[in-house]
Structure 1
Amino acid sequence: MAFKLNIQCGPCGYEDITKNAKKWCTNCEEGFCGECEKSHKSMKVSRGHKMISVDDYRQIEDITVNMNCEIHSKKLDLYCKKHDIAICVVCVPSAHKTCSSSDIISIDEASKNAKQSTALSDLEGTISKTLDDVKYCTIDRETALKNVDKEEKRIRKKIADTRLSLTKYLDELERKLLLDLKSKHENCKLTYIKHLDQMKEIEKKLENMREQTFKMKRFASDLQVFLGTRQLNKTLNEEIGSLKADIKDHKNNRIQVEIHDVLGSLMKEVKQFGEIKVFETKAGVMFKDAKIDQAQIQIQGSKQHVGKVNLQMKQKFDINESEAPISAGIILSNETVIIADYFGSGKLAQYKNKGKHVRDFRVTDKPYDLAAVDTNRFAVTYPGACYLEIRNTNNDSDYMKICCSMNSLGVSYQDQKLYLVVYHTSIEVMDLNGQKLKTIVTDISPGVFNITTTRDRIYYTDFNNDTVHCCSMTGQNIWVFENKSISAPKSISVDNNQNVFVVGHNSNNLLLIQNDGKDSKVLLTDRDGIDKPRAVYYNKEKKIVCLGYKAGIIAIYQVE
């Protein structure tokens, strides 16, 4: 328990005498020693004051009750029954001059038997009921927390069971197919073996005939050779005829396999094992009929207002050989930073914590924009080429080229798909194998360079028209943001609440736009040192912002 200082006697203290108080006057709000208490009671003006022990005062010491008028700083010594409010003498002519004399009574008269009043009883009842409701809500939230853990385990088990069932089913299909292969293979072999046996038997007969011809030529008489030649020739013709008939019936068998169409297209068509969905349902606990005066209980939704968002600088570091603001920069979940320096050195580089340079990736063209694919992989565009790449931060030589349209600028990754801004043409969607899936927006402005996406929305900036756009996945406009606070918007990123980070290249600032496009907040300006920014990226897992701060400098901020 914290040690509390002794309460000093007020009148003695006025005389510069230090003396502990024994009683406390609730009217004067100061302590009195034994002698001063007697003097206090002896005076007519303070004879009726309420005196309590210091120990009793300790019980209410931390309870703050304002005894003075908030407007005039005078003592609250009157009460207006008409307005149900405590007032001071100055309040009467200024705000209660129309109130009758019967409405204005002394505060002492109004506070008589306050401990037995219905107002106090109602307050206690309201507090008790509200406390019960809060406890019910706490229990409900604890139950919901346990249930969501159970659901997570159940879903994990379902995924594992589905994977096991699929494996067993594929194993059984494989077993049947291999048995069929074995049977057909054996039949083909038996046919060929039968043919080989026939050929060997004929070969044996022909060898025998050749041997007879040789012996007959050496040792037999002319008559025997004459007759034997005709007999062997007849036999040979019969064998040749039989051989021709057999060879005519010979056929070559080739074994091939045709994988079922569904299995063959499984890896192409099925891009994810499943989808985790969160369904919002109304909480089971409601507040009961508690009358709460001068108070509101508001349950906040998941969408955070931009006015509450602030940035805390974590670090800044230099970019090697960069003489212009980078065109793109992303920070992965392992806090690896990747930068594309299209307007400067033309490098694609990797940095670790505190700005440690890891590598410059080997590139054949100047990289423009970046999109994180997973923990170790990212997509990078090259406007001057007809391809983009999926690179790996762990291995410079591990990358995949994907054919795309010339002048492909901004790129975003969402749900196994790449979204590309094709200059002055459209926004194209393709899978990670480079297959074009659809075109969402056509005839976009020449000022559209950068893009970002969520599961159900597309966001892009129009550099020329100073606007930020939000549309659906089918290209339907949801909102357009246009404000004097931002000029020449470039890179764009979105947080977990679909609030939008965007940098203004000419306005030298970082802006956060509300998810409905109606409100915004300037987070950083040129007073913070920003100069001609082109790149911003928000990591949703770490809740950190990677900003192309100025030429040759990257800044990392924690979002609070």
Structure 2
Amino acid sequence: MATIIPCGPCLYDKTHQNARKWCTSCEEGLCKECEKTHKKTKTSRDHKLISIEDYCKIEDVSIHFTCSDHDKQLEWFCKSHDKPLCVVCLPTEHRSCSDVISIDVAATNARQSTAISDLQEAIEVALRNITHCINNRNTAKNDIEKQEKDIRRIIRDTRTKINDHLDKFEEKLIQTLVSASETCKSKCNTFLRQFHSEEEKLIKLKYQVLQMKEFASDLQVFLGTRQIDKLVMSEIESIKTATDSIYDYKFNLDLNSDIEKVSNGGVKEFGEIQVTEHTTKLDFKELKLEQAQMQLNVQPLSNVADIELKLITKVDIKKEQMYITGCAILPNEHLLFANYFSTELLEYSKDGNFIGSIQVSATPFAITVLDSDRIAITYGDKGFFEIFNYRTSWVEKKIETGGHCWGLSQSNGKIYVKLDQVGVFDIKGKKLCTVPAAGNFYISASKHNLFCSSYSNGNVYCYDMKGQEVWNFHDDSLRHPYSVANDRNGNVFVVGCVSRNLIIIQHDGKTYKNLLNFENCSNPSAVYYHMDKNTLLICDEKGDDCTLYKVLYT
């Protein structure tokens, strides 16, 4: 359902009409008749009118046009304090400020200003940080679930092991019980056999005495009585002897004290779940958000003649089959080198110490840093580039380009790749557009410009983001220009492969300065500028001279 906005002037006249346009200056809706009057009135004919549908898109954007301290219209802007002012603020708090201008002048070309670009970039960085935090918590939650499953498995396995041990203990104890019982019963059976034998003998003697008494003569009875008496006495003595050796048996179970604790509840817990907390080290990327509507630079807009280089360290790369085509400085100040003769990136500390090799998908040509975890890598004639997490050595996305892809750069949340022209991709690898630009291999991007080198004609080009040429630099001192890198001011560092030098071209493309000459190494091929640290990494093809410099803006 469409939002209904009333016409402001009609409401003032206590009539009700639906607005069809919105005046961004007057901050009120206008019906068809009031729109005509608005355009005819001299004071309002230049006001910007937008449709009600467009107004609804910005209706929830909270923008205050009055001073929060004095409740007056904001009419002025102090450049020194980066603050909008009302007519009361100006004489009371900013009387001594020399750079107060009309807020209308300050807002000129606000859509194309650095501030809104910085704001968009800050939001993008914040969103990436939020995504990073969400991913981190999801990972933590998945890790908790995995740990829970692992501990459940350990508990089950422990219970199974305990059951197995108890089964073995039970089996062993039963075997011992059976063996003891059998031994005792065997002894009883031995005596039983003996007693049964004695019993048979005595019964037989008893029968003989009865027969003898019934049928024998007195002499036979006399002699027989004495003889049988000896036999009976012998049997009685034998029984007495046997009874001295018989025992009764009492079986008792003496439980192991540990087992008895378990069975009697002496062991209160199967175990204890311990949870320890440790601080999560989220690499939260900070971005300084500049609010002024004018261009604000870290370096002063000085002439390139005043720029100097100060040596920080030399990197000794000892590898065979080297062809360094790209390099980069990571946020932690580690140094990366792309060797187009191998499928590895070489990582060094800022002090020049070798850290290790990072395996990649093919022979890497160029590198650029995207954020604290990720880089982009092109693979030249292989026809693709990748978004690569160098902390986990994981390819997050592979982007097929349908042709060769060489140099690349990152600026303002976009990735610029040198194809036949320059392809522009978002930070996730989705292609946004193509910018027509001359040049061969290497490019560099700022917020508003693209810089391209052409070794075939010795030119360095500067384009705007629509592909319109801003300037074109050519000088005989720069032969076969290769890698390029720009600073915040739009000054461009370029290495000359054949002239074997490094120059810096001023942001207007009119002047330059020769910064370095390479004498005892192979041809210079790669250069990378770290804007936050004002450091410059320069490499030659064979890795004989890979050097990190501090750029001094005097």
TM-score by length of 1: 0.48
**Structure having the higher Rg:** 2
TM-score by length of 2: 0.48
